[in-house]
Amino acid sequence: MTKSVLTAIGAKPLPQDTHSCWSCGSMRAAHFCESCGKVQPPVPVDYFSFFGLPPKLNLDVAALEKDFYDLSRKLHPDLNATTERAEQEWSLEQSSMLNDAYRTLKDPLKRTAYLLHLEGVELEEQSKSATEQARATGEIKKQIVPPDLLEEVFELNIQLEELRMDKKMGDDDPALIAEIGKQKLALEAKHEELLQELQTYWKTWDGLIDRSQAGNPATSEERAQVRNKMVDVLNRRNYIRNLVRDVNEAMEN
């Protein structure tokens, strides 16, 4: 699964399965037979292919939802409860894959992280191993502060420390709270901005896919470039999200 989807795409545009149905023998679609409706044994495919989609990031979520409902009506275990045991197993696996795929693709950030995973970038694992390492050594997890935020974060951390001290002493400093609140709003705005920035890279990425499908594959440098930009945006976004969480915690406690 970690193989680049781009190379797979170059070979064949869409995973229109050409195997025949185990039950009626006719040419079938990937998940269930178009002619007899029987659920087919699952084949390992990525989430985009599961929905018959190219690995592009701009996605029509309404159309995805419709496909999700249509496929649910074929694959869900409730509608295959009276079939043979093996078919029930397939239905369970196909249906869980459908749900996993839909859950991942409908959400813009999960979708991006998943595409990066297919490209061999493990955002989550990076963060996980960093967290575990920090815990093992008893340190607070260190995160690289995005350079454009360095100054603001430094300032904010001092203010948060002051706030915590105030709370400990039972003091109240409305001006400080107002100031932190303002910073929080700014951070939240930045958080939103980054989503928009991410979307510009989606466009670049999707352009590369379109080009590949038209027979002009993107170079590995081109891919790496846009990939790294997306990783950077996601990391910065995560950083801000954690910061906002810290602010919320400090304000509540």
* Residues engaged in binding another protein (CB under 8 A): 69, 72-73, 76-79, 81-82, 92-93, 95-97, 99-100, 102-103, 128, 132, 135-136
Closer to another protein at the Cβ: 104 or 112?
Answer: 104
β-partners of residue 20 are 27
Least separation in angstroms between CB 228 and another protein: 25
Q: Which two tokens stand for residue 75?
A: 């694959």
Q: Which is nearer to another protein, 107 or 155 (CB)?
A: 107
- Judged by CB, which is closer to another protein: 29, or 79? 79
Measured between alpha carbons, how far is residue 13 from residues 87, 117, 220, 248 in Å?
29, 20, 19, 47
Q: Where are the beta strands (DSSP E) in the chain?
A: none
Radius of gyration of the chain (CA): 24
How far apart are CB 66 and another protein at their closest, in Å? 10
29-49: b (≥16 Cβ within 10 Å) or e = bbbbbeeeebbbebeebbbbb
Q: How far is the CB of 18 from another protein (least distance, A)?
A: 26
Q: Considering the complex, what minimum distance in angstroms separates the CB of residue 94 from another protein?
A: 9
User: In 3-state terms, the chain is what percent helix, strand and coil (to 5)?
Assistant: 70, 0, 30
79 vs 145 by CB, closer to another protein: 79
Closer residue to another protein in complex, CB, 30/226: 30
Q: Which is nearer to another protein, 191 or 229 (CB)?
A: 191
| Measured distance CA(189)–CA(95) in Å, rounded | 38
Answer whether 250's CB lies under 8 Å from 160's CB. Answer: yes
CB of 29 to another protein, least distance (A): 19
Crossing angle for the helix pair 108-118 and 85-106, to the nearest 10 degrees: 110
Q: Are 41 and 89 in contact (CB under 8 A)?
A: no
Shortest distance (Å) from residue 178 CB to another protein:
26
CB 169 within 8 A of CB 20: no
